[in-house]
Amino acid sequence: MVIVEERLNKMSTDINVLIKKMPHAQDLSLPVYMSEYAAGMDLCAAVAGDVILEPGKYKLIPTGIAIALPHGYEGQIRPRSGLALKHGLTLLNAPGTIDADYRGEIKVILINHGETAYYLKRGDRVAQLVIQAVARAILKQVDNLPETLRGEGGFGHTG
């Protein structure tokens, strides 16, 4: 019974996302969730050949896909923890945002914070794509904000 309820709950949050493979990525797999409860789908590098990423350098890496998100959703591009831990690789603008009205190829800005060069190959998993609901703010200008215990304390104010 619990398994059935979990699967029903999971299915109730599924959304349809249209995806297009770019001409230079026809041989690559579509993004995929690597486990049953994974939040992100792995994105592959759609590079023409091997790419060397020297320490301290960054490069724009194509993924070979474009998507059409429903209104009210965004795509978040996040680093892969294994690349960060093993090689010091991360995304320069993490998380990156894909707006619902963007239709171009998804590309990631990969940076090497490691001490050695990293050799990226075609099809390597370079980032994750997380689809997230978005709330749009309606800003209301006021002269004063409501008081809180924290107040204006910021950046390390709690120790």
Place of tokens 């703010």: 137
| Percentage, residues of the chain above pLDDT 90 | 84
- In the predicted structure, residue 122 carries a pLDDT above the cut 70: yes
pLDDT tens-digit readout, 11-31: 568 999 999 999 999 999 999
Encode pLDDT of 70-98 as tens digits.
Answer: 999 999 999 999 999 999 999 999 999 99
Query: How high is the pLDDT of residue 156?
Result: 72
Among the CATH numbers 3.10.450.50, 3.40.50.150, 1.10.150.120, 2.70.40.10, which is that of 16-133? 2.70.40.10
Nearest to 127 by CA among 97, 104, 101: 97
The predicted-structure confidence for 101-119, as pLDDT tens digits, reads as follows 999 999 999 999 999 999 9
Rounded mean pLDDT of 42-70?
97
Give the pLDDT score at 32.
Answer: 93
Q: For all residues of the chain together, what is the average pLDDT?
A: 92
At residue 135's C-alpha, the angle toward residues 131 and 141, to 5°, is 150
What is the DSSP secondary-structure string of 58-127?
Answer: EEEEE-SEEEEPPTTEEEEEE--HHHHHHH-EEETTSSEEE-TT--S--EEEEEE-SSS-EEE-TT-EEE
Say if residue 1's pLDDT is above 90: no
